[in-house]
Structure 1
Amino acid sequence: MERHRQAVRLVSAAVRAYFERSEPYRIFHGSTNSTRPAHQKAGARLVDISGLRDVLSVDAARRTALVEPNVPMDRLVERTLAHGLVPPVVMEFPGITAGGGFAGTAGESSSFRHGYFDENVRGVEIVLPDGEVVFARPGKEDEDGGEYADLFKGAAGALGTLGVATLLELRLIEAKRFVRTTYRRTSSVAEAVRVVREECERDRGNDYVDGILFSKDHGVVVSGKLTNELPDDEKVQTFSGAWDPWFYMHVRERTAALPSSASATPKEGSVTEYIPLAEYLFRYDRGGFWVGQAAFDYFRQVPFNRFFRWFLDDFLHTRMLYRALHGSGESGRFVVQDVGLPYEAAEPFVDYVSEHLGIWPLWLCPLKTPAGPSFHPHLRSASDLPDGDGNSNSYSNSNSRSSSSQGKKGEGQMLNIGVWGWGPKDGDAFVRANRDLERRVDELGGMKWLYAHTYYSEPEFWRAYGGHRARYEALRERYRAESLPSVYDKVRVKVDPKGEKDWKSRVKATWPFGGLVGIWKGIKSRDYLLHRRAAWKWSGGAGEKEKLA
Structure 2
Amino acid sequence: MASNLQAQHDASVAVISSRVKHFHSLNQAFRVYHGSTHSTRPSQHYANNTVDVSMLTRVLRIDTDKKTALVEANVPMDQLVRATLKHGLIPPIVMEFPGITVGGGFAGTAGESSSFRYSTFEHTVSWIKIVLGNGEVVTASATEREDLFYGAGSSHGTLGVITLLEVQLVEAKKFVELTYYPVDSLDAAVRKFKEEAGKPETMYMDGILFARDRGLVCIGQLADSVKPGSRIQRFCRAADPWFYTHAEELMGKLHEPVTEAVPLVDYFFRYDRGAFWTGKYAFDQLMVPFNRVTRWILHDLLHARKMSHALHSSGLSASNVIQDIGIPYSTAGEFFDFVNEVFPLYPVWLCPVSIRGASDSPSAPPGPFMHRLTDHSEDDTFLNFGIWGPGPKRRREFVDLNRALEKKAADLRGVKVLYAHAYYTEEEFWQIYDKEKYDALRGKYFAQHLPTVYDKVKVDLGVGNGEEGEVEDGKGKPSGIKERSGFLAAVYGVAHLLLRSEYILKKK
RMSD (CA atoms): 2.0
CA distance in 2, matches of 1:503, 1:441: 29
Q: Is the 8 A contact 1:378 1:447 kept in 2?
A: no
Q: 1:514-539 CA distances to partner (integer Å, 9 max, x unpaired)?
A: 22221122223499xxxxxxxxxxxx
Q: Among 391, 395, 413, which residue is 1:423 paired with?
A: 391
> Which position in structure 2 is the counterpart of 1:218?
214
Displacement, 1:498? 3.6
> Which position in structure 2 is the counterpart of 1:472?
438
- Cα distance change of structure 1 residues 504 and 334 upon mapping to structure 2, 3 Å threshold: closer
Displacement, 1:148? 1.4
- Extract unaligned runs of 5+ from structure 1: 139-145, 260-268, 383-399, 406-411, 528-549
Displacement, 1:351? 1.6
1:234 aligns with 2:230: yes
CA distance in 1, matches of 2:341, 2:116: 29
1:75 aligns with 2:79: yes
Q: Among 158, 165, 174, which residue is 2:162 paired with?
A: 165
SS in 2 for 1:58: strand
1:64 aligns with 2:68: yes
CA distance in 2, matches of 1:496, 1:47: 31
Matches within 5 A, 1:436-455: 436-455=404-423
For CA contacts below 8 A with separation 6 or more, give which structure has more relative contact order: 2
Q: Could you state the TM-score of these two structures normalised by the residue count of structure 2?
A: 0.90
- Extract unaligned runs of 5+ from structure 2: 1-5, 357-364, 503-508
CA distance in 1, matches of 2:57, 2:234: 28
> Which position in structure 2 is the counterpart of 1:52?
56
CA distance in 2, matches of 1:512, 1:458: 34
Q: Is the 8 A contact 1:255 1:270 kept in 2?
A: no
CA distance in 2, matches of 1:490, 1:308: 37
- Cα distance change of structure 1 residues 422 and 329 upon mapping to structure 2, 3 Å threshold: same
1:273 aligns with 2:256: no
> Which position in structure 2 is the counterpart of 1:321?
307
Residue type of the alignment partner of 1:13 = S
- Cα distance change of structure 1 residues 444 and 310 upon mapping to structure 2, 3 Å threshold: same
> Which position in structure 2 is the counterpart of 1:372?
366
Identity score, percent: 46
CA distance in 1, matches of 2:56, 2:283: 35
CA distance in 2, matches of 1:201, 1:488: 37
Q: Among 296, 304, 327, which residue is 1:341 paired with?
A: 327
Displacement, 1:166? 0.4
1:208 aligns with 2:189: no
Q: Among 176, 181, 203, which residue is 2:178 paired with?
A: 181
Residue type of the alignment partner of 1:137 = S
1:282 aligns with 2:276: no
Q: Is the 8 A contact 1:255 1:271 kept in 2?
A: no
CA distance in 2, matches of 1:504, 1:436: 24
Q: Could you state the TM-score of these two structures normalised by the residue count of structure 1?
A: 0.84
Does 505-514 or 72-81 show the bigger shift? 505-514
> Which position in structure 1 is the counterpart of 2:191?
194
Q: Among 231, 242, 249, which residue is 1:246 paired with?
A: 242
Q: Among 485, 491, 494, which residue is 1:516 paired with?
A: 491
Displacement, 1:83? 0.7
CA distance in 1, matches of 2:234, 2:408: 38
> Which position in structure 2 is the counterpart of 1:295?
282
Q: Among 9, 18, 27, which residue is 1:13 paired with?
A: 18
Q: Among 30, 38, 50, which residue is 1:33 paired with?
A: 38
CA distance in 1, matches of 2:372, 2:114: 17
Does 470-479 or 433-442 show the bigger shift? 470-479
- Cα distance change of structure 1 residues 162 and 336 upon mapping to structure 2, 3 Å threshold: same
Displacement, 1:44? 7.2
Aligned length: 480
Displacement, 1:511? 4.9
Displacement, 1:190? 1.2
Q: 1:421-473 CA distances to partner (integer Å, 9 max, x unpaired)?
A: 1110112211111111111111111110011110111111111123xx32222
SS in 1 for 2:261: strand
CA distance in 1, matches of 2:174, 2:259: 16
Q: Is the 8 A contact 1:33 1:96 kept in 2?
A: yes
- Cα distance change of structure 1 residues 188 and 232 upon mapping to structure 2, 3 Å threshold: closer
